[in-house]
Amino acid sequence: MSKVNISDAVDAYLQRKSVGDSAESGSGAYASNAESILHRWVTWLETEQNTTALLALDRRNLEAYARELADRTERGKYAPSTARTYYAVVRAFLSWCVRGGLLETNPASTRNAQAILPVETDTQTDEFWTDRQRQTLEEYVRARALESLHENEGNRRSRLREYAVVALLAHTEIRGSELFRAPDDTRRTGATWNEVDFYTGTIQVLGKSQRFEAVPLPARARTPLRRYRIALDPPTNEWPLFPTRHAPSIANHVREALAERGYDEAEIDSLFEETTAKSLLREHAITPPAITTEGARTILKRLCKDAGIDVDGEYLTPSGVSRDLEAPRRRAATAPTNSLRVSFLEQSIALREDHYRVIDVASSNESRND
């Protein structure tokens, strides 16, 4: 028993859950959701606690993990509910170890660890946007997007990008972790254009259940997103909706992609001497990484500051933008994402409809004035 590694025990636990544990229901979905959480915890134990053996675990390791989760919450990386969920998954795994005779007691079941974890309180509702705050920010980014029509391509693309981010968060039920890249979750790499269907007005996202769900895209979100796509002009539908603009990250990503395609270091250096990393992305059809959830927070923080919006001196986060919309999310776990393609024809038709709608409104106003 002393030779049992934590990673081996985790694998056995997940295998058991994936085929069904008679003691718990919904085990298949649970295993899928818990896999990345437990594997990241195992990696953290190895690198930060120098602990790999199951019997070497004690309450100090788990209290340190609780502090790590609390620190990440303090930095805005996790919501309090996420931190507590992660700890609960680890505690459930260790309880399973106790039931199986691998451990005598559960080192995660301590009052100290519970006290360290961030607490979900009613004051967290202050993070949610009011209708006035949402309207103020949306009007601000919309006005900037309209003004950018007379600016250079880079500014126009940037303004339309900001407008699309705000519109999606404000008028859909999409969560930030479903739209942007979550560095700690290998499955959440950011929504791509491959998952958007302007024709049906839906977007496929990886929901909390770890299954793909079709989320409606109402017109107030769909139109800004469509206009932003035309400005972005992604070379393939595999591109994320919101690629990172962090130059070092893009450069490293391009170098790694070119190396995987057989380019040697000298050839890669030569390419970088001739052009930029952003240009190489398009020239070689390299899919860039999406912005992270933290990157989205940074964007919103800047926009809120510029628009003069705050919440008790803080700023509004992606999780606080969305409202409780009445329409339920439609799960589409079996729908293949590659069936949702964005055609330029669909975009052109939609843009033409917008154009004539503006003309109709203007004509109506003129008639009313006459």
Would you list the domain boundaries of the chain?
Answer: 6-120, 126-244+289-357
Whole-angstrom distance, CA of residue 36 vs CA of residue 147: 43
pLDDT band at 297 (very low <50, low <70, confident <90, very high): confident
- The predicted model gives 36-48 an average pLDDT of 91
Mean pLDDT over the full length of the chain: 79
pTM value is 0.59
Encoded tokens for 269: 């250096």
- 181 phi and psi angles, rounded to 5 deg: -85, 130
Per the DSSP assignment, residues forming a β-bridge with 216 are: 202
Which class is domain 6-120?
mainly alpha
The angle that helices 131-147 and 153-171 make with each other, rounded to 10 degrees, is: 160
- The predicted model gives 84-112 an average pLDDT of 90
pLDDT band at 161 (very low <50, low <70, confident <90, very high): very high
Q: Is domain 126-244+289-357 given the CATH code 1.10.443 in the classification?
A: yes
Pairwise pLDDT comparison (143 vs 321), residue with the higher score: 143
- Cα dihedral 224, 227, 232, 237 in deg (nearest 10): 90
The 3-state DSSP composition of the chain as helix, strand, coil percent (nearest 5) reads 60, 5, 30
- 5 phi and psi angles, rounded to 5 deg: -85, 150
Compute CA distances 333 → 168, 205, 207, 253, 337, whole Å: 21, 10, 9, 30, 10
pLDDT band at 7 (very low <50, low <70, confident <90, very high): very high
State residue 322's pLDDT score: 52
Task: Work out whether the CA dihedral 190, 193, 195, 201 comes out positive or negative.
Answer: positive
- The predicted model gives 33-50 an average pLDDT of 88
Whole-angstrom distance, CA of residue 241 vs CA of residue 190: 8
Whole-angstrom distance, CA of residue 157 vs CA of residue 149: 9
Whole-number CA gyration radius for the chain: 24
Beta carbons within 8 Å of 215's beta carbon, 6+ residues apart: 172, 173, 174, 202, 203, 204, 205, 329, 330
- The predicted model gives 63-89 an average pLDDT of 86
pLDDT digits over 181-197, tens only?
888 777 888 999 999 99
Of the given ranges (13-27, 29-43, 345-359), which has the lowest mean pLDDT?
345-359
